[in-house]
């Protein structure tokens, strides 16, 4: 029972942390820094932005690990 309670607490806490902001799709660390300064509560590192994915077809893929490390180093948001 306490495990389920802990899951609920975690999910509600994360949801309340993201409340009142947006999650931005970014491709570079520079875009992540701009998103953070503009008020984003989180960023999602993608290989290409969704508009380009739709334009050229394909699927959303995560960024290269080096790009993700750069984003983590230059921002303080999840």
Confidence of residue 7 (pLDDT cuts 50, 70, 90): confident
| pLDDT of 2 | 54
Report d(CA 36, CA 55) in Å as an integer.
Answer: 26
Confidence category of residue 4, pLDDT binned at 50, 70, 90: low
The pTM of this model reads 0.67
Q: Which residues of 36-47 are buried (b: 16+ CB within 10 A; e: fewer)?
A: beeebbbbbbbe
Tens digits of residue pLDDT in 25-44? 999 999 999 999 998 988 99
With contact defined as beta carbons under 8 Å apart, do 55 and 44 qualify?
no
In the chain, where the domains are located: 22-78
Q: How far apart are CA 78 and CA 2, in angstroms?
A: 27
pLDDT in the model for residue 1: 46
């Amino acid at each position: 029972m306490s495990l389920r309670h802990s899951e609920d607490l975690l999910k509600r806490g994360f949801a309340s942390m993201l409340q009142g902001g947006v999650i931005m799709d970014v491709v570079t660390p520079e875009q992540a820094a701009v998103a953070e300064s503009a008020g984003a509560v989180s960023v999602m590192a993608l290989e290409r932005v969704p508009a380009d994915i739709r334009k050229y077809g394909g699927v959303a893929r995560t960024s290269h690990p080096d790009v993700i490390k750069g984003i983590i180093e230059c921002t303080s948001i999840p």
